[in-house]
């Protein structure tokens, strides 16, 4: 089946504008993650959805960032009033956690550039 897809693949916006990034997880995966990766850096956790539970938002850097997951499938990450420091690659991953460990399947990312 299809893997995780993200759109748009690239986004250029002006400082102060709002942006929406979309993630389509693998069908049937109950867990969904958003990460941010700045150039040459590691993964920064943003938010985690698991089934119908309240999401873990502990990684969101400010209240300008929010995310939702509709119907347990597609997720949208919204950044309001974008700042230049928001420029990064935003990665989405999904998994189907079991009793033991789990494998995260990543999308190709959305490259966000804030001018």
Partner 1 sequence: LAKTTQPISMDSYEGQEVNITCSHNNIATNDYITWYQQFPSQGPRFIIQGYKTKVTNEVASLFIPADRKSSTLSLPRVSLSDTAVYYCLVGSLRDSNYQLIWGAGTKLIIKP
Given a contact cutoff of 8 angstroms between Cβ atoms, the answer to whether 55 and 67 are in contact is yes
List interacting residues with partner 1 (CB under 8 A). Answer: 4, 31, 33, 41-43, 45, 48, 50-51, 53-56, 58-59, 91, 93, 97, 100-109
Nearer to partner 1, 3 or 16 (CB): 3
Nearer to partner 1, 14 or 40 (CB): 40
74: closest CA among 111, 24, 114, 14?
Answer: 24
Cβ of residue 62: shortest distance to partner 1, in angstroms?
Answer: 18
Pairing of strands 75-79, 19-24: antiparallel
């Amino acid at each position: 089946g299809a893997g995780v897809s993200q759109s748009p693949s690239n986004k250029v916006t002006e400082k102060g504008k709002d942006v929406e990034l979309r993630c389509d997880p693998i069908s049937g995966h109950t867990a969904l993650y958003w990460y941010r990766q700045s150039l040459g850096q590691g993964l920064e956790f943003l938010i985690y959805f698991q089934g119908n539970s309240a999401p873990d938002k502990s990684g969101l850097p400010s209240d300008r960032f929010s995310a939702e997951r509709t119907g347990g499938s597609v997720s949208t990450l919204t950044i309001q009033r974008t700042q230049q420091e928001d420029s990064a690659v935003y990665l989405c991953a999904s998994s189907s956690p079991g009793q033991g460990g789990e494998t995260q399947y990543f999308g190709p990312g959305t490259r966000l550039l804030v001018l």
